[in-house]
């Protein structure tokens, strides 16, 4: 297939692209390089099956040109604000980079008769639910961050386009995705801070926040599995692991991986890491499990492998340029 990957220079896309190319697909990647980096796409630029467009997806005429030129068979829509706290400072950031961009993608799909979209949503759409673990049919949904509100709006737009224009969608509500090639995230932030000051580590919140951390290869496996095995008009899955890891544990793993000792943990305090943070996340993964898929790594194992990968990459100067 010819597959359009939005957010093509980002974290998940840089891990997805080798798989798509290895399976013989043609990949057209698009990114505005605001959060993604050229280091992520550099390994693919010499591949004749790979094309990269530097493009702001808010520019609908350019998005239309993209679809006219390449006529994709499938869209993996991964473009989004990857830093939830950033959207708190700029209140239209997620509206533009999430909701309006998703509309532009869907409208171009409608116009060019592209019928299938795989979308990266978030478990953040549940807000602070009363039911833990939280299943996909939980409601009502009251997001507590602008990022989560945008993701929920995107899901609604995708559903409406599917039912009005004979499209099909696979929506994944992620836990926290971790692994190599990060652009953000707690492990990435801890390594950067400790490289700057190996004696003291600032930790947002009180360190007791607990969430399910999913290794990026497991995330991609789960998305591909659902795409292959679920055939409703709109297919929605929680994609997470059954266990969870605390922020303090991630700090301890990072310190140990870097071979440091006597590091002072400086907590900023409070139950949340930032405004809009959900301190306790548990996602019911039974729907995807019943379909036949399970992740390879637990949350703790994903954190350990992530720390190993990020420390190695950062020490090697990865991501510069």
pLDDT tens, position by position, 122-161: 999 999 999 999 999 999 999 999 999 999 999 999 999 9
Residue 85: which pLDDT band, with cuts at 50, 70 and 90?
A: low
Q: Is the pLDDT of residue 320 over 60?
A: no
Q: How far apart are the first and last CA of the chain?
A: 31
Is residue 188 a part of any domain in this protein? yes
- List the CATH number of the domain containing 265: 3.90.25.10
Is 110 found in the same domain as 76? yes
For residue 88, what pLDDT is reported?
A: 76
Asked which of 82-91, 136-145, 184-193, 207-216 is least confident by mean pLDDT, the reply is 82-91
Residue 317: which pLDDT band, with cuts at 50, 70 and 90?
A: confident
For residue 231, what pLDDT is reported?
A: 97
Is 168 found in the same domain as 192? no
Is 53 found in the same domain as 38? yes
Is 290 found in the same domain as 257? yes
For residue 315, what pLDDT is reported?
A: 82
Model confidence, pTM: 0.96
Q: How many CB atoms lie under 10 A from the CB of residue 163?
A: 12
Q: Is the pLDDT of residue 254 over 80?
A: yes
- For 207, the domain range is 180-211+243-315
Is residue 70 a part of any domain in this protein? yes
Is residue 320 a part of any domain in this protein? no
Q: Is the pLDDT of residue 86 over 80?
A: no
For residue 82, what pLDDT is reported?
A: 73
User: How much is the average pLDDT of 158-182?
Assistant: 97
Burial of 212: CB neighbours in 10 Å, binned 0-12, 13-18, 19+: buried
Helix (H, G, I), strand (E, B) or coil at 68: helix
Residue 319: which pLDDT band, with cuts at 50, 70 and 90?
A: low
User: How much is the average pLDDT of 159-173?
Assistant: 98
Task: Answer with the residue of higher pLDDT: 27 or 84.
Answer: 27
Average pLDDT of every residue of the chain: 95
Q: Is the pLDDT of residue 274 over 70?
A: yes
Is 148 found in the same domain as 201? no
For residue 314, what pLDDT is reported?
A: 85
Residue 321: which pLDDT band, with cuts at 50, 70 and 90?
A: very low
Give the integer Cα–Cα distance in Å for 263 and 251: 10
Q: Which residue's entry shows tokens 């605001």?
A: 34
Length of the chain equals: 321
Is residue 321 a part of any domain in this protein? no
User: How much is the average pLDDT of 213-236?
Assistant: 98
User: How much is the average pLDDT of 267-278?
Assistant: 93
Is 184 found in the same domain as 101? no
For residue 228, what pLDDT is reported?
A: 98
Is 249 found in the same domain as 148? no
User: How much is the average pLDDT of 260-264?
Assistant: 97
Q: Which residue's entry shows tokens 């998703």?
A: 102
């Amino acid at each position: 297939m010819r597959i359009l990957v939005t957010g093509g220079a980002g974290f998940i896309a840089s891990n997805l692209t080798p798989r798509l190319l290895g399976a013989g697909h043609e990949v057209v990647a698009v990114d505005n390089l605001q959060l993604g980096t050229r280091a992520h796409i550099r390994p693919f630029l010499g591949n004749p099956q790979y094309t990269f467009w530097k493009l702001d997806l808010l520019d609908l005429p350019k998005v239309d040109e993209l679809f006219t030129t390449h006529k994709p068979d499938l869209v993996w829509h991964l473009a989004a604000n990857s830093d939830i706290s950033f959207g708190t400072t700029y209140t239209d950031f997620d509206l533009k980079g999430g909701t309006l961009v998703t509309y532009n993608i869907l409208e171009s799909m409608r116009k060019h008769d592209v019928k299938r979209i795989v979308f990266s949503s978030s478990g953040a759409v549940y807000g602070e639910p009363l039911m833990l673990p939280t299943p996909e049919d939980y409601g009502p949904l009251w997001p507590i961050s602008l990022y989560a509100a945008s993701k929920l709006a995107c899901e609604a737009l995708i559903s409406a386009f599917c039912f009005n224009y004979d499209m099909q969608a696979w929506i994944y509500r992620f836990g926290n995705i971790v692994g190599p090639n990060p652009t953000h995230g707690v492990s990435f932030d801890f390594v950067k801070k400790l490289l700057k000051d190996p004696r003291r580590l600032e930790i947002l919140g009180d360190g007791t926040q607990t969430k399910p951390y999913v290794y990026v290869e497991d995330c991609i496996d789960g998305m591909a599995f659902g795409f292959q095995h679920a055939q409703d008009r709109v297919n929605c899955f929680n994609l997470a692991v059954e266990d969870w890891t605390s922020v303090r544990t991630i700090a301890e793993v990072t310190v140990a991986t870097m071979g440091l000792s006597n590091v002072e943990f400086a907590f900023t305090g409070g139950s949340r890491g930032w405004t809009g943070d959900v301190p306790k996340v548990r996602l019911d993964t039974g729907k995807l499990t019943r379909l036949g898929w399970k992740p390879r790594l637990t949350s703790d194992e994903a954190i350990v492998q992530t720390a190993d990968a990020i420390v190695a990459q950062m020490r090697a100067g990865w991501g510069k340029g």
